[in-house]
């Protein structure tokens, strides 16, 4: 802690919990240079086990954070999925599997990948440290009280929140006992089978008069997990219910003659179900259904759960194949349940919750950590930009507006997915339970749409998507297909708001509306990634890496076909298009960019589809080749959508076709700091773009 017993200090943002959601939020504090703190009740970070599934969009975001190459190097891609069922003769047989599809690859170059949470947190911590070396996680610190002065909250400069922090002793902060003599860490203490230990820890620390500190904060972000203490202080309820199903999970190096032991697959027989996930370093993760040893139809007695019991159950399910292990990295158990928080913030938008604090579900869909990271990634820059004085506080309600529907859809996905792992009888029983839940949820959705109305929005389509739907075919393939775009993070579905302007295309001319009808660059969705070629040096870079998540808004000029040249110095430019680009850049340079704080707040880059060889950066407007006194021209502002025949790394070109952007007309868009499109329009609609910026940034001129 910064100070000792009873002392008081101020911080702009306090993040409670340093898991994936908390670290994603902290990443933005580092990028914006915010005076922030991040605390965690545990004495050490997670090293093994926990979440491990990485979806495509998360990897795209990691690319924009500069850490994806480390992930790619260590992770295990899951490109195929198999299913094993009883063969009717006491054995198992493989039925048709699924493969990573061409369609999916068209949407993103990243596969679903497995890598343990410990490594992912390591990479995020390193990215934070690189941008702001003094923003370190303070471990073994717990929050004890939280108060918010509602009157003060009206003043954006005030510190309305008071949090009392308490330092835990080493024993309190490190509760995990080693497993048997092997020294394997079990993860039960982080499992939802364990009772919440927050109050207990606070009381213990009080009893021995542990050091305390009072912190005054402008904003608090609670990323403190399924038992979220922050959520409880706000009185936010979790809606939904648990089932009786209990699952074990372990990361082991298998010794087995099961033919698919290095493959991701499901194995189902009378003894139960295993979900097998292929992992890095020879590890396999097994999710194993657990039932009472005496009566398989009854729930397991929680006190009997042990690593040996998990092994025995796995052996029964994998019979007649052999299964054993000597190396276990981590194991745990959890109860299946699906719950969503009734709100994601306090009414004043000073205190927020993100990650597991908002949505709890079974881990088997491999999406939880992703959604948590994306929660933190959505919330962090908004809080940071407001705290830095760059943006108005009206940005803040858009967090819940955008992420609450995602949380609901996540648990809906999990509800369908988890049900597939149950025996038929149990499945029916759960469906009944869930009808009740869905009724509750419909009520919640009504409340939410009221909230939206209060914010001046009428958009509710995203809400209707969470309505119960008849599952056409109750199997893995159809559930996967139905939720794939959501689970991979391809479909964000963010509604219209101050940060998402959906009106730009409708205000344009009829021809423009027609032209961009099939456009895949949609406000409220991700910027569809493309491999771009650098105009100046010809190197290929993915847009996710070229457009770094550095806190800046980014005007992306889709300049179209600016010319067919015959050699540098003698270009036969498409003078009409180049003149339009010049006019746009002139207005951006004179008016828009300086008005909203200059290039350190609003960056500008161009992607054209002309002939690179016939052009040089000096053919483009000055705004697209800024000069630094020491480093010369910034050559990374002009990019080309170019078909490259050979590339050692991956595909190139045809970005305009993938985007659905007309090569003659071009377009221009604004990308938010979190890689989501905020505004899209014609190159001539500078006024429309400026209006959008007026809503999200405070003009300085």
Question: Which residues contribute to the site for its own copies (CB under 8 A)?
Answer: 69, 73, 76-77, 79-80, 93-94, 100-102, 105, 109-111, 253-257, 259-263, 278, 282, 325-327, 534, 536-539, 567-569, 616-618, 627, 629-633, 635, 645-646, 648-650
Give the 3-state secondary structure of residue 550.
Answer: coil
* The one catalytic residue among 109, 279, 285, 552: 279
Both tokens of 464, joined, read 């209707």
User: Minimum Å distance from CB 64 to its own copies?
Assistant: 16
Both tokens of 175, joined, read 């509760």
CA distance 198 to 17: 12
Both tokens of 145, joined, read 């009280």
User: Minimum Å distance from CB 177 to its own copies?
Assistant: 24
Residue 279 known to be catalytic: yes
User: Judged by CB, which is closer to its own copies: 279, or 672?
Assistant: 279
User: Judged by CB, which is closer to its own copies: 402, or 642?
Assistant: 642
User: Judged by CB, which is closer to its own copies: 164, or 262?
Assistant: 262
Residue 363 known to be catalytic: yes
User: Minimum Å distance from CB 102 to its own copies?
Assistant: 5
User: What pairing do the DSSP bridges indicate for beta strands 284-290 and 238-256?
Assistant: antiparallel
Q: In 10 A of CB 371, how many CB atoms?
A: 31
Find the length of the chain. Answer: 701
User: Judged by CB, which is closer to its own copies: 66, or 175?
Assistant: 66
Residue 52 known to be catalytic: yes
Give the 3-state secondary structure of residue 400.
Answer: helix
* The one catalytic residue among 27, 40, 42, 52: 52
User: Minimum Å distance from CB 503 to its own copies?
Assistant: 36
User: Minimum Å distance from CB 616 to its own copies?
Assistant: 4
User: Minimum Å distance from CB 409 to its own copies?
Assistant: 26
Whole-angstrom Cα Rg for the chain:
26
* The one catalytic residue among 159, 287, 413, 494: 287
| Of residues 434, 399, 389, 403, the one with CA closest to residue 416 | 434
User: What pairing do the DSSP bridges indicate for beta strands 323-341 and 265-269?
Assistant: unpaired
Number of H helices, E strands in the chain: 21, 29
User: Minimum Å distance from CB 266 to its own copies?
Assistant: 15
User: Judged by CB, which is closer to its own copies: 109, or 404?
Assistant: 109
Peptide bond into 663 cis (omega under 30): no
Contacting residues for 203 by C-beta, under 8 A, at least 6 apart: none
User: Judged by CB, which is closer to its own copies: 208, or 631?
Assistant: 631
Q: What angle (nearest 5°) sits at the alpha carbon of residue 136, between those of residues 164 and 229? A: 35
* The one catalytic residue among 363, 495, 571, 673: 363
Residue 186 known to be catalytic: no
Peptide bond into 320 cis (omega under 30): yes
In a 13 Å sphere around the CA of 567, the CA atoms on its Cβ side amount to 1
User: Minimum Å distance from CB 47 to its own copies?
Assistant: 20
User: Judged by CB, which is closer to its own copies: 76, or 408?
Assistant: 76
User: Judged by CB, which is closer to its own copies: 228, or 256?
Assistant: 256
Q: In 10 A of CB 551, how many CB atoms?
A: 24
User: Minimum Å distance from CB 483 to its own copies?
Assistant: 21
CA distance 597 to 698: 8
Largest CA distance in the chain: 85
Whether the CA torsion 604, 609, 612, 615 is positive or negative: it is: negative
| Of residues 476, 483, 522, 13, the one with CA closest to residue 266 | 476
Contacting residues for 556 by C-beta, under 8 A, at least 6 apart: 527, 547, 605, 606, 607, 668, 669, 670, 671
CA distance 610 to 262: 46
User: Judged by CB, which is closer to its own copies: 254, or 523?
Assistant: 254
Q: Which residues of 203-237 are buried (b: 16+ CB within 10 A; e: fewer)?
A: ebbeeeebbbbebbbbbbbbbbbbbbbbbbbbebe
Residues with a known catalytic role: 52, 279, 287, 363
């Amino acid at each position: 802690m910064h100070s000792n017993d009873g002392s008081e200090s101020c911080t702009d943002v306090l993040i409670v919990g340093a898991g994936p959601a908390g670290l994603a939020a902290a990443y933005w504090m580092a990028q914006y240079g915010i005076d922030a703190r991040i605390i965690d009740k545990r004495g050490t970070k997670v090293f093994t086990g926990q979440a491990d599934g990485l979806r495509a969009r998360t990897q795209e975001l990691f690319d924009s954070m500069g850490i994806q190459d480390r992930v790619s190097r260590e992770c295990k891609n899951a490109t195929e999925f198999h299913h094993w069922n009883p063969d009717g003769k006491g054995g198992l047989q493989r039925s048709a599997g699924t493969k990573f599809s061409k369609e999916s690859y068209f949407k993103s170059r990243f596969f679903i990948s497995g890598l343990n949470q410990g490594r992912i947190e390591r990479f995020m911590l390193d990215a934070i440290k690189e941008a702001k070396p003094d923003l370190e996680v303070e471990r073994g610190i717990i929050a004890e009280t939280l108060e918010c002065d509602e009157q003060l909250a009206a003043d954006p400069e005030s510190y309305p929140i008071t949090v009392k922090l308490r330092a835990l002793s080493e024993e309190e902060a490190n509760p995990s006992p080693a497993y048997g003599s092997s020294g394997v860490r079990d993860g039960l203490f982080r499992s939802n089978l364990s009772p919440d230990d927050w109050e207990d820890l606070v009381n213990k620390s009080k009893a021995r008069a542990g050091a305390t500190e009072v912190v005054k904060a402008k904003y608090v972000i609670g990323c403190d997990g399924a038992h979220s203490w922050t959520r409880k202080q706000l009185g936010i309820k979790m809606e939904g219910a648990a089932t009786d199903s209990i699952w074990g999970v372990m990361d082991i190096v298998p010794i087995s003659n099961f033919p698919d032991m290095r493959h991701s697959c499901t194995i189902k027989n009378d003894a139960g179900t295993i979900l097998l996930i292929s992992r890095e370093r020879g590890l396999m993760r097994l999710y194993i259904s657990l039932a009472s040893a005496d009566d398989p139809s009854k729930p397991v007695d929680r006190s009997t759960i042990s690593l040996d019991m998990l092994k025995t159950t796995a052996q029964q399910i994998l019979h007649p194949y052999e299964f054993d292990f000597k190396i276990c990295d981590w194991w745990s158990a959890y109860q299946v349940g699906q719950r969503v928080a009734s709100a994601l913030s306090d009414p004043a938008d000073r205190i927020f919750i993100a990650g597991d604090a908002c949505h709890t579900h079974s881990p088997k869909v491999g999406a939880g950590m992703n959604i948590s990271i994306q929660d933190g990634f959505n919330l962090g820059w908004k809080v940071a930009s407001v705290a830095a004085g760059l943006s108005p506080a009206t940005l803040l309600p858009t967090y819940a507006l955008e992420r609450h529907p995602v949380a609901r859809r996540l648990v809906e996905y999990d509800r369908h997915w988890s049900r597939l792992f149950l025996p038929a009888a149990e499945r029916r029983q759960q469906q009944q339970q869930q009808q009740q839940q869905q009724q509750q949820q419909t009520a919640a959705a009504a409340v939410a749409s009221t909230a939206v109305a209060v914010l001046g929005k009428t958009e509710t389509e995203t809400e209707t998507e969470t309505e119960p739907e008849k599952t056409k075919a109750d199997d893995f393939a159809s559930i996967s297909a139905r939720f794939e775009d959501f689970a991979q993070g391809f479909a964000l579905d963010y509604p219209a708001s101050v940060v998402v302007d959906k009106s730009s295309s409708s205000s344009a001319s009829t021809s423009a509306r027609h032209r961009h009808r099939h456009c895949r660059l949609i406000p409220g969705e991700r910027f569809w990634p493309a491999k771009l070629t650098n105009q100046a040096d010809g190197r290929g870079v993915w847009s996710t890496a070229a457009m770094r998540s550095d806190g800046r808004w980014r005007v992306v000029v889709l300049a179209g076909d600016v010319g067919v040249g015959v050699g540098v110095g003698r270009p036969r430019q498409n003078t009409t298009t180049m003149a339009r680009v010049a006019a746009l850049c002139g207005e951006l340079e004179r008016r828009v960019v300086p008005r909203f704080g200059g290039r350190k707040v609003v960056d500008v880059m161009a992607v054209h589809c002309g002939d690179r060889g016939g052009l040089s950066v000096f053919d483009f407007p000055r705004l697209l080749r800024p000069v630094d006194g020491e480093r010369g021209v910034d050559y990374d502002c002009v990019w080309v959508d170019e078909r490259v025949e050979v590339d050692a790394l991956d595909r190139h070109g045809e970005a305009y076709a993938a985007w659905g952007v007309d090569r003659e007309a071009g377009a221009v868009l604004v990308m938010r700091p979190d890689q989501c499109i905020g505004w899209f329009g014609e190159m001539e609609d500078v006024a429309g773009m400026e209006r959008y910026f007026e809503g999200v940034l405070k003009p300085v001129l």
